[in-house]
Amino acid sequence: MRLELGAAVSLAREIAEDVLAPEAAAVDEEPRWPADGMAALRTALGGLVVPRESGGLGHGLLAVAQVGEATGRACASTSICFGMHLVGSAVIAAKAGPLHRERYLEPIAAGEHLTTLALSEPMTGVEFWLPQTRMERSGSGRLRLTGAKSFVTNAGHADSYVVSTVAAGPGTPPGQFSCTVVDAGTPGMVWGDSWQGFGMRGNSSRALKLPGVEIPAGCLLGEEGDEIWYVFNVVAPYFLMAMAGTYLGVAAAALEEARGHLLRRRSTRAGRPPAGQPVVQHRLGTMWARVERTRRLIYHAAAEAEAGGPQALPALASAKAEVADAAEATVNDALTLAGGIGYAERSPLHRMLRDARAAHVMSPVTDVLRVWTGRALLEEPLLEG
């Protein structure tokens, strides 16, 4: 199947308007995993980043950012859920063998398979690239996974989970990290209760225990010890673009909400309407510029990373850090311009403010990204203390 980027983004906008937006309030309020929205996105665009030779659309980071913006405008929870599917798909595709292509990528491309990430752990905080989950060979072509994961998006709904591990067998060099795929329903997987968040309430984020869970050795992605390569060459770029696109969508939606409110209040019984006041015009103009320059940085970061350019690392790190600031500030400004109407409990801005705040919290957190940017510019090792 071939679908050009513009057509893919247009399709994402259509799904966002027709399916995601009407359910966004209920997804947040109940809270519940957005089954209808995810089904629509999976069916139409599930293979967005799957290579064409495996039946996918063959797109990259820019598509993830632009589709994320389209979906994030309507429902940030659904956007993150779908974004994590895209990141997981990219990780599986990066060094896929015949088994991975047949078992995962081709069904993903056909819209029949949902995947996601299981990287974060309870004891590693924001440093998701340093897993403690152990992987050991158990004989007969099997791998045994022992450990725990936290904040697994799409938990209990995905068909597979991309899991990071550290090798722990006899004679294994220390720090040999690896990535595997674990199928849903694998015996021994234990799910925790749904995490109830301040915002992003529909992403079905749950903890996962792996008490000696056994999987086929063929589920290993790449070679043993490849996980750091995956993290910085695939996971981080796609993860950052998925989040940046989503929160850009939130910022853009808040800007449009404020603009629409002001346009609807053009008529007034006395005095000048809000849209005619210079201070209001100034604030809205500032909001527009903030959103637009953040959009340009995100798109530049995607293009630079896809081209392997020298600015890829600082641009990717800064894109997620900047959009976190932009989303939070833009929603706050929109609330100021909307006045009391915006503060209503079921106001879209109420949901956007809570969702936007998560942009700083989701790893890599903003402070870490700022440090990474500085280290990259100064040619210092990225992960030194």
Task: Say which residue the tokens 């040999």 belong to.
Answer: 176
Q: Place 68 in a pLDDT band, splitting at 50, 70 and 90.
A: very high
Q: Of residues 130 and 230, which shows the higher confidence score? A: 230
Q: What is the mean pLDDT of residues 336-352?
A: 89
pLDDT digits 0-9 by tens, 14-38: 999 999 999 999 999 999 999 999 9
> Quick check: 270 pLDDT over 60?
no
Give the model's pLDDT for residue 264.
Answer: 87
Q: How many CB atoms lie within 10 A of CB 17?
A: 13
Q: Place 250 in a pLDDT band, splitting at 50, 70 and 90.
A: very high
Per DSSP, the three-state class of 363 is coil
Q: Place 128 in a pLDDT band, splitting at 50, 70 and 90.
A: confident
Percent of all residues in the chain with a pLDDT value above 70, rounded to a whole number: 95
Give the model's pLDDT for residue 124.
Answer: 75
Q: What is the mean pLDDT of residues 329-333?
A: 98
Question: What's the full length of the chain, in residues?
Answer: 385
Q: What is the mean pLDDT of residues 150-172?
A: 88
pLDDT digits 0-9 by tens, 135-149: 998 878 999 999 999
> Quick check: 292 pLDDT over 60?
yes
Q: Place 173 in a pLDDT band, splitting at 50, 70 and 90.
A: low
Q: Place 169 in a pLDDT band, splitting at 50, 70 and 90.
A: low
Q: How many CB atoms lie within 10 A of CB 209?
A: 14
